[in-house]
Amino acid sequence: MFELKPMLSALWRNKVAALLIAVQLALTLAIVGNASVIVDDRQDRIARPTGMAVEDIVSVTFHPTTSDFDLSGTVRSDLDMVRGIPGVVEATHTSHIPISGSGSSSDFYREPNQSSLDEETANVYYTGPEFIEALGLKLVAGRNFTPAEVKVFNPDDSYTSPVTIVTQQFADVMFPDGNALGQFLYTGKNDPIEIVGIVERHLGAWVTWSLAGNVAFYPALMDISFGRYVIRAEPGKRDQVLKQVEEKLAQRDSQRVIHIKTLSEEFDEGYAIDNLMVKVLSAVIIMLTFIIALGIVGLTFFWINQRRKQIGVRRALGATRANISRYFLLENCLIAGTGIAIGMAAAQVANHFIVSNYSQPALPLSVMLVCALILLGVSVAAALVPALRAANISPAMATRSV
């Protein structure tokens, strides 16, 4: 405590430099705190379970070139052929490829003739009874579709499937009491749709959608001008299956245009922005921390060079090396503590603005305190080498300096 008064006096004489470091620390904490929350949020989003065997799935989209195209017959014969390929676990048709960014949604109600205030939205897929096995989903309640329930329909027709399978998440949204199985959903057509099964999880088409995981499946095939398949391979055989599927589909109809991808590629593309943000913000955090460390090292060395004579006098009067090192470390902690205190307030203000305008996660106090402690540790570590250098200044050399 006896060093506090001369320390404050020395800082006051060099107030501009000390203030700049404090402000830099404050800005660094505000930026690093909020960036850390965003990075953590994006990493949690990327790490979410999809509910699907992503690493083993191949997706196929094809477009015929003839006008007399028979979608139903083509799908049936294609899938029979694909299922016979060695290494294929299951294959099914689908209206959209999961986690591809392309999909459709519908509004659902618990009762007919409900207002928009009571609606809930879900991603919708038209597929076959093989979709559970083809995607590697887990049926946790109820039953699968039967082949007889799969209907071929034109999107222009007024068709509503009488049955559906939904994800557990969407079942809980529609029926929070946990009694979704056997209940009925309604769309704008007011036709009842019975929930006959519940799968544990399916992330849906849009990984960045706030309602990702709200999914409903219908047993149907839309009679449109193109088709889509999802094919699940045995573990480790995906690339082999992909090559054979592409070759055999081309052999069956060399005129149609076939586009084939792995679901892993769809996953990476879906999270490309999140991954980029994680990398950019992580680089910003590292860069700012490095810059503040360099600033503290430079400022401490500058002050030591300015005070060589004073250090020598203190050494001559009996100050130990530990006293000298402690002095500069405490001085640095005082500056860092002031900057961090200001930064904590600035971080909360910045986070309030970000949450209000950009729907980003709030900054928890625990995260802010961890960031503050890390920056304080970086500050002390950065000042340690200059402080030890100051302790090695001999009284004779210091007193001979001008």
| DSSP tag of 145 | P
Residue type at position 85:
I
Q: Output the CA–CA distances (angstroms, integers) from residue 368 to 77, 203, 289, 357, in the order listed.
A: 59, 31, 15, 20
- Closest-CA residue to 56 (of 129, 134, 139, 128): 134
Please name the residue ranges forming H helices in 14-125: 15-46, 71-83
Q: Kindly state the greatest CA–CA separation across the chain.
A: 102
Residue-wise pLDDT tens digits, 237-258? 999 999 999 999 988 888 889 9
The per-residue pLDDT for 2 is 47
The per-residue pLDDT for 396 is 64
Q: Output the CA–CA distances (angstroms, integers) from residue 228 to 7, 136, 215, 241, in the order listed.
A: 73, 17, 18, 16
The per-residue pLDDT for 232 is 97
Instruction: Decide: 223 and 157 in contact? Cβ < 8 Å.
Output: no
Angle at 17 between CA 12 and CA 18, to 5 degrees: 60
pTM here is 0.78
The per-residue pLDDT for 150 is 93
Residues listed for the chain = 402
The per-residue pLDDT for 9 is 61
Count of CA atoms in the C-beta half-sphere (13 A) of 83: 13
CA 270 from chain centre, in angstroms, equals 10
Please name the residue ranges forming H helices in 147-262: 168-174, 238-252
How is residue 281 written in tokens?
């913000």
Q: What are the residue ranges in the chain where pLDDT is below 70?
A: 1-18, 67, 114-117, 306-307, 311, 315, 319, 358-359, 393-402
Q: How far is the C-alpha of 396 from the C-alpha of 6, rounded, in Å?
A: 23
What percent of the chain is helix, strand and coil (3-state, nearest 5)? 55, 20, 30
Q: How far is the C-alpha of 262 from the C-alpha of 230, rounded, in Å?
A: 9
Q: Output the CA–CA distances (angstroms, integers) from residue 211 to 20, 87, 114, in the order listed.
A: 45, 34, 21
